[in-house]
Amino acid sequence: MKHSLSVIFFFFSAFSVFAQETSSIFTDRPNATDAAGLIDNGDFQIELGFFSDTDINNDTTIRSITQPNVSIKYGLFDWMEIRLLTNYMTHIRDEGSNEIRTSGLTPITFSPKFKILDQKGFITKLSASVLLTFPNVGEKTFQNNKINFGYRILMENTLTEKLSWSHGLGTEWDDNTNANWIYSSSFGYAITDKFAAFSELYGNFNNITNSYYWDGGISYLALKNFILDAMVGAGLNNVASDYFISFGVAWKTNFKK
């Protein structure tokens, strides 16, 4: 926990001198549905967070803790945003008298996002992202042996001035080319100019198991280019994790203005 807060403090202290006027910030975190919108050309954005996931099965408790999870973005063109994603993870398997703990960097994912459509009336805002996860990177236990590939189709509808509805649908292929389908649907509501809330359903399924989840949370726009968030969630079937929590921050600047 202290490690996560230290990383966050160091980064924003180091980069605050470069802050420039930019459009209001929005993020992909903390929910599972990534934003359909892209950051502006020349914008640089970093999103950092703490995430803890707990699954209890009889006498065995499995926890996964990331501190931090990291997303670094840059607006390369008006129609393209590039992202680098990774985590520092601690995986704990506790069987009462026996605890196995593994910590280290997870594989790095390169994920460009492409603008397809802006919302016009009933036509949804639409974008797509590609995920390429590199092999032989990070802690050996967490590594993949081949490039893993995935994609997301992202949709967002602004229903009223305060209410929005977002969706995500995609597939990921692992080392064995097994397909894992992923979907999500999230409602967002602007409580005030500073506070917003969301509620979300999401899950994934493949030819072996299906898992379903709910989460909800809030965000606070502390500055035009700085936002804080918090989220709690729970699994909705036996395969899913029992519960999880997350909180984090995001900061944005523009090096071209």
Q: pLDDT per residue over 115-138, tens digit each?
A: 999 998 888 999 999 999 999 999
- The region that residue 44 occupies, defined by phi over 0 for left and psi between -120 and 50 for alpha, beta otherwise, is beta
The DSSP bridge partners found for residue 163 are 189
Percent share of the chain, pLDDT over 90: 82
pLDDT at position 144 is 95
> Distance between CA 77 and CA 71 in Å, rounded?
18
Residue type, position 38, single letter:
L
Q: What is the pTM of this model?
A: 0.88
* pLDDT score of 22 more than 70: no
At 211-253, the pLDDT tens digits run 999 999 999 999 999 999 999 999 999 999 999 999 999 999 9
- Cis omega (within 30 of 0) on the bond before 107? no
> Distance between CA 91 and CA 138 in Å, rounded?
14
Superfamily of domain 2-254: monomeric porin ompg (2.40.160.40)
pLDDT band at 23 (very low <50, low <70, confident <90, very high): confident
**Mean pLDDT, the chain, integer:** 91
- Which of 1-10, 119-128, 160-169 has the weakest average pLDDT? 1-10
pLDDT at position 223 is 96
pLDDT at position 171 is 97
> Distance between CA 221 and CA 232 in Å, rounded?
19
> Distance between CA 113 and CA 43 in Å, rounded?
14
pLDDT at position 21 is 52
- Which of 4-13, 28-37, 111-120, 171-180 has the weakest average pLDDT? 4-13
Domain boundaries, the chain: 2-254
pLDDT band at 257 (very low <50, low <70, confident <90, very high): low
At 71-95, the pLDDT tens digits run 999 999 999 999 999 999 999 999 8
128 — phi, psi (to 5°)? -140, 145
DSSP 41: T
pLDDT, average across residues 142-167: 96
> Distance between CA 254 and CA 165 in Å, rounded?
28
pLDDT, average across residues 26-38: 96
